């Protein structure tokens, strides 16, 4: 007769128990994280994730450079956050954007990027818009890093 059955099973059971404790901890962390996200999501403007925004920017990169002074079809977006609209030197802006009186902050960028031609009637920016608020938040966080 070998050792009692219960004793034989102790090592594997113990391992599983440890695994379960670990999973509970991970579960707790995930819950804490989700609650954190929910709380921050409740504020008027949730700060976006610039790293994710850089990926969203691929949609803009055909027409916009982030290098200072480098124009493509659109003006360079270097330093765009906080700038008065249509003031980049060496780029011919539409009358509509020049007359818009806008300064690019979170709110005006959000509105413009959601539906450019609705936010500024007559703009030459031929881009349909970004429907996802999350994409816009992330993108704007990225735009703010361009300085």
Stretch that binds ligand HEC, among 2-10, 18-26, 34-42, 68-76 (CB under 6 A): 68-76
Least gap, CB of 25 to ligand HEC (angstroms): 40
Asked whether position 85 contacts ligand HEC by CB under 6 A, the answer is yes
Angle, CA of 115, 120 and 123, to the nearest 5°? 95
What's the alpha-carbon Rg for the chain, to the nearest Å?
25
Least gap, CB of 11 to ligand HEC (angstroms): 57
Least gap, CB of 124 to ligand HEC (angstroms): 4
Angle, CA of 111, 136 and 100, to the nearest 5°? 25
User: Which of residues 46 and 72 has its CB atom nearest to ligand HEC in the complex?
Assistant: 72
**Segments in the chain forming alpha helices (H):** 5-41, 50-56, 95-98, 106-114, 116-119, 133-143
User: Which of residues 93 and 106 has its CB atom nearest to ligand HEC in the complex?
Assistant: 93
User: Which of residues 46 and 111 has its CB atom nearest to ligand HEC in the complex?
Assistant: 111
Give the number of other CB atoms < 10 A from CB of residue 83: 16
Judged by CB under 6 A, the residue of 48, 74, 137, 141 near ligand HEC is 74
Cα–Cα distance list, 77 to 16, 51, 125, 133 (Å) = 54, 17, 13, 20
Residue 103 sits at φ, ψ, to 5 deg, of: -120, 135
Retrieve residue 137's tokens.
Answer: 């938040």
Asked whether position 93 contacts ligand HEC by CB under 6 A, the answer is yes
Q: Which residue ranges make up the site for ligand HEC (CB under 6 A)?
A: 59-60, 62-64, 73-75, 77, 80, 85-86, 88, 93-94, 96-97, 104, 113, 123-127, 130, 139
């Amino acid at each position: 007769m070998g050792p009692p059955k219960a004793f034989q099973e102790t090592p594997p059971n113990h391992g599983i128990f440890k695994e379960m404790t670990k999973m509970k901890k991970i579960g707790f962390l995930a819950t804490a994280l989700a609650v954190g996200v929910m709380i921050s999501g409740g504020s008027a403007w949730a700060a976006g994730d610039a790293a994710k925004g850089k990926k969203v920017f691929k949609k803009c990169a055909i027409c916009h450079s982030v290098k200072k002074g480098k124009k493509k079809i659109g003006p360079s977006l270097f330093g765009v956050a906080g700038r008065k609209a249509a003031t980049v030197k060496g780029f011919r802006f539409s009358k509509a954007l020049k007359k818009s009186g806008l300064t690019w902050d979170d709110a005006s960028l959000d509105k413009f990027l959601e539906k450019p031609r609705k936010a500024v009637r007559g703009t030459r920016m031929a881009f349909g818009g970004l429907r996802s608020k999350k994409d816009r938040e992330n993108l704007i966080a990225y735009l703010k890093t361009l300085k």
